[in-house]
Structure 1
Amino acid sequence: MDTDRRSFIEKSLMVTAAVNIGGLGFMSACSKKENSKGEIEEEGEKEVSPPEDLMQEHGVLKRILLIYDTCRLNIINKKSFPDEIITNSANIIRAFIEDYHEKQEENYIFPRFQKANQLTDLVQVLLLQHQAGRSVTDKILMLSKNRKRTEAENENLAELLFMFNRMYSPHEAREDTVLFPAFRKIVSKNEYDSLGEEFEKNEQKLFGKGGFEMIVDKVADLEKSSDIFDLSQFTPKL
């Protein structure tokens, strides 16, 4: 009985210490577990799965789509705004979404569905939309860099922003709800895990360590320039 009581107290003290260190012991990126001896151990940081990684990158795309929509409304309402907002947003789309994110899908995700003969019709449409998106981005960049646009060119730019948003909203939604959930079923666990590591290596190779966070910060700056950074402004007033 004394031994059990002493073991219980020791465990309690260890758990209390784990919580109190730094004031936020259980909120770190590493989770904690108790081993067979009743000792608290830290587990390694959880790896992000390939679909989760791609869905986080979709979050960047969604925020750019909102910036595009804001700029489009400004053009329609003839409200002045810095042209650099569109140019810099399109540069992020080109570098991070089209030349990185979509290449990951095209090189690692789509071929596996084609090999498994699963969702091939969907994959074909997604590929065509990637190509169409790059063409639209070319035109957006060309027009946004022109600081002396005519009214007709402004109307064309607004239409291009609308076309891009109109395609990519359902595009990413279909990937998030149909393609990515099905991906886990067509690859082995080892292949699934190794792809997560491959994605991370590719991201660091192109953007450096913390590249995703750097891109998110750039998007946040563009949101501030567009006066849409404050999330509360989107709450409906009922």
Structure 2
Amino acid sequence: MSHTNRQRESSQPEIEIPPTEDLMREHGILKRLLLIYEDAGKRLLGYKPLEPQITYPVILQSATIARNFIENYHQELEEKYLFKRFLKEQIQVDLVRTLQEQHDAAINLTSLILQSVSQGDQYMQSRQYLAHLLSLYKQMYEPHEAWEDTVLFPTFREIVTPAELQALGEKFEKIEETMFGKNGFQRILKQVEQLEKAFGIYELSQFTPHFTNKQ
């Protein structure tokens, strides 16, 4: 690559991610945590080898990411900067109230998951209970994030000005760096990848169905 090309590339402004896209990207982290929860549930219920020395640490670390990154950071951004605006404008009020209730439920579920993991692997009943908690979290958050991605975020972009959207994006970036350091999202993503690898569910291709063509 020539010096001129390198100079041109280095002089290009960094592309700013809109705050709604940033929140959707964080939903990608949540989706991958839900896949881990689903796999953990299969192990706890005997559909896959349990391997307690792997399963319980993975659940613990996944729930810790859910608490720190999803509930204490991502949800807080939505509540403080999006939900309040919707309530102020009296737009999508019922949806926002439901989403808020589910945020609160997520916090309670994670507390129960962390408590259950700390009690260890003594009884089948406790494994079933933990699997149920993980299932409830997944069952709630799959439609939750779908409604935010398809209804809440697009509507938000309609009720704020481009200048407000840009300012909010910059604010989100500063908050993320304060809480998780520079390139915090990438570090969280790497942690999730390591948990996926521990469960053997990292490779995307394994989720592809394969069909045999009949003559």
Structure 1-normalised TM-score?
0.83
Equivalent residue for 1:44? 13
**Equivalent position to 1:56, from 25, 35, 48:** 25
5+ unaligned residues in a row in structure 1: which ranges?
A: 1-15, 31-41
Shift of residue 46, structure 1, vs aligned partner = 1.1
Structure 1 vs Structure 2 CA RMSD: 1.8
Bigger Cα displacement from structure 2, 69-78 vs 125-134: 69-78
Q: Say whether 1:66 aligns with 2:35.
A: yes
Q: Which amino acid aligns with 2:161?
A: S
Task: Please give the alpha-carbon distance, in whole angstroms, between the structure 2 residues aligned to 1:56 and 1:146.
Answer: 33
Q: Which amino acid aligns with 1:62?
A: K
- 1:43-192 alignment to 2 at 5 Å? 43-77=12-46, 79-81=49-51, 82=54, 83-192=56-165
Task: Please give the alpha-carbon distance, in whole angstroms, between the structure 1 residues aligned to 2:15 and 2:89.
Answer: 28
8 Å contact kept, 2:41–2:131? yes
5+ unaligned residues in a row in structure 2: which ranges?
A: none
Identity across matched positions, percent: 43
Shift of residue 45, structure 1, vs aligned partner = 1.0
- Larger relative contact order (Cα-Cα within 8 Å, sequence gap ≥ 6): 2
8 Å contact kept, 2:121–2:127? no
Task: Please give the alpha-carbon distance, in whole angstroms, between the structure 2 residues aligned to 1:149 and 1:172.
Answer: 34
Shift of residue 77, structure 1, vs aligned partner = 1.2
Q: Looking at CA atoms only, which structure, 1 or 2, has the larger radius of gyration?
A: 1
Runs of at least 4 residues off by over 6 Å? none
Cα displacement string for residues 180-222 of structure 1 (whole angstroms, at most 9, x for unaligned residues): 0111111122211100000000000000000000000000000
In the alignment of these two chains, the number of paired residues is 207
Structure 2-normalised TM-score?
0.91
Shift of residue 141, structure 1, vs aligned partner = 0.5
